[in-house]
Structure 1
Amino acid sequence: MSNTLTVIAYLHAKPGQEKKLLDELVALQEASIAEPGCISYQPYVEGKNPHRVAVVEEWKDRAALNAHFETPHFQRFASTLEQRLAEPFVIKYFASIEG
């Protein structure tokens, strides 16, 4: 297995908060991609339901992800989640399988 870490975060926006959440995710995406340990960072909307969002991220390793959590842009985003989300977000961590 590789040290590369794939992260999928699931978010459920409160009614009326969808656009703000998506705008904040786009700003977070731009800043995150610039981080040295970020391989990819892409938010997705679930079908036609703008309330449900998944962010698929790939990081060089767990240390890079931990550094991301400490950045000012992530901390700023995290500080908005209580007002934006209808329920706590879920994060799942995956390691790649190499054959």
Structure 2
Amino acid sequence: MPVSNVTNIAFIRAKARQSEELGRRLLALVEPSRQEPGCINYDLHRSADDPDSWCVYENWRSAGDLAAHFALPHMQDFITRVPALVEGELDLRRFAMISTPAPWRF
């Protein structure tokens, strides 16, 4: 039986000389996003091959939780800064999780 969780993967390319600032802004989204109701995980990655290439991998309980995430002040503030930091458009890809999430092992 399918699980209703939603996965959002954002691929983001920094403008020239903006990668460190973009990374700082993206990292600032991690903790507040993890505290949101419905957030299963919210993780930031930087390419090992291209330091201007970033990826946010996030899982949410529902599409409604993800929509609420984008409406919150910390996300709205980031969205206003995107044109100065990001080359081109954000590449957002949404997936429906069909497996049961793996248990965390720490």
TM-score using structure 1 length: 0.95
**In 1, Cα distance between equivalents of 2:66 and 2:99:** 21
More strand by share: 1
Equivalences for 1:1-99 in 2 at 5 Å?
A: 1-98=2-99
Amino acid at match of 1:72: P
Runs of 4+ in structure 1 over 2 Å off: none
Distance in 2 (alpha carbons) for counterparts of 1:74 and 1:98 = 28
Which stretches in structure 2 are left out of the alignment for 5+ residues? 101-106
Let me know the Cα RMSD of the aligned residues.
1.2
Q: How many aligned residue pairs are there?
A: 99
CA distance in 1, matches of 2:8, 2:62: 11
Please identify the structure whose Cα radius of gyration is greater: 2
TM-score normalised by length of structure 2: 0.89
Q: Which runs of 5+ in 1 are unaligned?
A: none
For 1:74 and 1:94, the matched residues in 2 are separated by 20
- Please state how far the C-alpha of 1:48 moved relative to its aligned partner: 3.4
Q: Distance in 2 between matches of 1:51 and 1:88?
A: 14
